[in-house]
Amino acid sequence: MVWNALLGIVLIFTAKRWERGVVAIMAMCQVVLTAMILGVNFFDLYTLGSSPFELLRDKLEAPIFSSPNYIKSIVDGTGLNPLLQNYWMVIHPPTLFLGFALTIVPFAFAVTSLFYGEFRAWIKPALPWALAGGMILGAGIIMGGFWAYESLSFGGYWAWDPVENASLVPWLLLISGIHLMLIKKVTNSSTIATYTLVISSFILVLYATFLTRSGVLGETSVHAFTDLGLAGQLMQFVVLFVWLPIIAVIPGKKYKWLMIIPISILALLLPFYAKLSFYPLLILTLAGLVWFVLSLNRRITNHASEDNVSGREFWMFIGSLMLVLSAVQVTVGTSKPVFNKIFGTNLVPPEDVIGYYNMYQMPIAIVIALLMGIGQFFRYRSTPDKKKLGYEIAGIALVSVALTIGGFFLFKISNPMYLIFMFAGIFVFVGNLTYLIFQVKKFKLSGSSIAHIGFGLMLLGVLVSSAKKQVITADFSGQLGNYDEQARRENMLLIKDEPTRLGDFMVTYQGDSVSNADRYFKVHYISLNGEEEFTLMPNAQISDQMGLLPNPDTRHYLTYDVYTHITSLPKPSVDSIKWENVQEFPVKRGDSIQTNNGMVYFTGIEQGDGEAIGLKNTTLARALLTVKSGKSEYTSEPLFGVNSNTYFTIRDELEEAGLRFGFEIRPSEVEGEDPTAILEIAETKPQPKFIVMKGIIFPYINLLWLGTIFMVIGFGIAMFNRLELRRAS
């Protein structure tokens, strides 16, 4: 809502003759958002939104509210989900929301042009905004991927989660719409398709909001919210903006109102009588969309001739169509919970979600990449020198084949589909690099080539980092007997201070430390050849509600990443430890005591007060002990305290060594002799510290991140070029 307001202010000063319609549409969106956030009550009959100022006691009937002092019984909230406590989550959501907000600007220009009856003039002022939306929304999405890679423990950057998909689909449609806007601007063709995609990109943002906030995805997505009672109102929000362009193409005010009235009545009934109003509204909306296409087709007076196969616009249109196909497949897969709710079906998500989407998206990406590799060598309407064009494409293909053969040996990829995918990524990279070097005369015209180069690098990064991902942990020792077979193949138990082979490294768990609520685990890596040495500090929190919440740590190299995260920790076992063989020993400075579990050295006594540990008016005596057990050495400091009322002992337990120590200073039974220091020692079976962790090598993942950076830069160059052209005109 904040971004929408800021964009509206900018448009007031820049939209010029389009200002009235564009700003009105943005204001309409702002009114709905504001009402939903603040909650607007209409005569106690209908409330739009939900007020944040309502009191719990007025909304919930619970026994706690019968007490006048119920506030004292309510503790503070649990705080931010630990998985979200990451700096990427500071910048990822605002960037993503700005990208979402930007999609309304080309939408507003498109709908305004429908009201004005100007089907081409809107392209020039809307195009920079569309490019800005593509750039920022894309950057926000990849920031989310990087956050997942840096902070989550599923071992990757994209999980095809429904809410991830809901942000990807508007971006795909917006990118497709941008390409069709360019076609429309130059050739005045593809009018209906251009309007459809530009409008749909914003509608799908609203649909994403519905998916996330309605609770319909509650059981299928880690991102979604529970039902807040706003599902019907969110659907009204979507219906409002779906019908706005339809109303725009209906001729005459009389006929517009004849359609507005029944649609408004059905939409208003949605929150109250969903079953009664939804299906008529759905049928009317589908009929309205058909009417939109037919009416717009009639109103277009300048129908362009058929596209020439040698024209750039033909191949751009095919590429845009493939982007739409990608978006449709993702939308259908993501919307299964919605279909179940509407039609009473029982569609279930696939067991292997990533494999399911990859199966469809990989062939589509290959076609898009091949089109990207050759598209810019064509000219609009017709390419004059087709022979030269053929030589250029053949040369790019030969170089790409040669590099693919090199990649086959370098990456050791043999799957035929993966090899085709690799060829496609190399092809788009080589093709656009060639075009950039030999045909782009000015830097400001290089935006599309740079973005396409980034796309090629991204495809290569996705392929190699996923196909050749290597899990370097495995339970070779059989210590994870209670794990299933798959988990044993991917996890390893590390006992403190015991070096263990992990791929090309020797790894040692060296201990842990606590910072705030996080527990950090020091894992030391040394390569087998001794040339590399580093320490990773994966951390974890143990939540009462969510269990183990691990955050990975990654060592970044130019050609690969070493990724480590904790998968299991020993459960607290203080109450179940059975201490045996309890003995007391009089000790003096320098004494040593041999136990079954190691040698204990008494090095002295340190006196102090109890303020440091929260004990007032208390004198403390701290026994200083050094314990050598096996190859390990520990320190222990049991306490003896005295105050005006009593004396007490605070024992110290070394579970790893299997020893517990108590300390006491007793008065001598012989008058005149000094008090005696007594050391109590109890033993049990040693409980060595350990962690269960997973280690993964991601090869060449930097190609992915580099590719996304190039894509954002390319969008930025193209956007500023369009702004400059607009100012010049």
pLDDT for the residue numbered 420: 97
Taking residues 446-457, report their average pLDDT: 96
CA distance 554 to 709: 20
Q: Which residues pair with 729 in a beta bridge?
A: none
Amino acid at site 276: L
Per-residue pLDDT reduced to its tens digit, 176-199:
999 999 999 999 888 999 999 999
Name the pLDDT band for 219 (thresholds 50, 70, 90): low
pLDDT for the residue numbered 67: 77
CA distance 489 to 104: 48
| CB distance 347 to 199 below 8 Å | no
Q: Please indicate whether residue 344 or residue 476 has the higher confidence score (pLDDT).
A: 344
Read off the DSSP letter of residue 73.
G
| DSSP per-residue codes, 381-392 | S--S-HHHHHHH
Amino acid at site 510: Q
Name the pLDDT band for 51 (thresholds 50, 70, 90): confident
This prediction's pTM: 0.86
CA distance 510 to 538: 12
| CB distance 324 to 197 below 8 Å | yes
pLDDT for the residue numbered 308: 84
Helix axes 312-334, 353-375, angle to 10 degrees: 170
pLDDT for the residue numbered 497: 86
Listed in sequence order, the residues at least 6 apart from 374 whose beta carbon sits closer than 8 Å to its beta carbon are: 315, 393, 396, 431
CA dihedral 14→20→21→26, nearest 10 degrees, is 70
Listed in sequence order, the residues at least 6 apart from 340 whose beta carbon sits closer than 8 Å to its beta carbon are: 346, 347
Amino acid at site 676: T
Helix, strand, or coil (residue 303): coil
| CB distance 116 to 21 below 8 Å | yes
pLDDT for the residue numbered 333: 92
CA distance 580 to 683: 5
Taking residues 518-546, report their average pLDDT: 87
pLDDT for the residue numbered 228: 57
What sign for the dihedral angle of Cα 582, 583, 584, 588? negative
Q: 689-700 burial string, b = 16+ CB within 10 Å, else e?
A: bbbbbbbbbbbb
Per-residue pLDDT reduced to its tens digit, 317-332:
999 999 999 999 999 9
Name the pLDDT band for 612 (thresholds 50, 70, 90): confident
CA dihedral 103→104→106→108, nearest 10 degrees, is 170
CA distance 523 to 472: 14
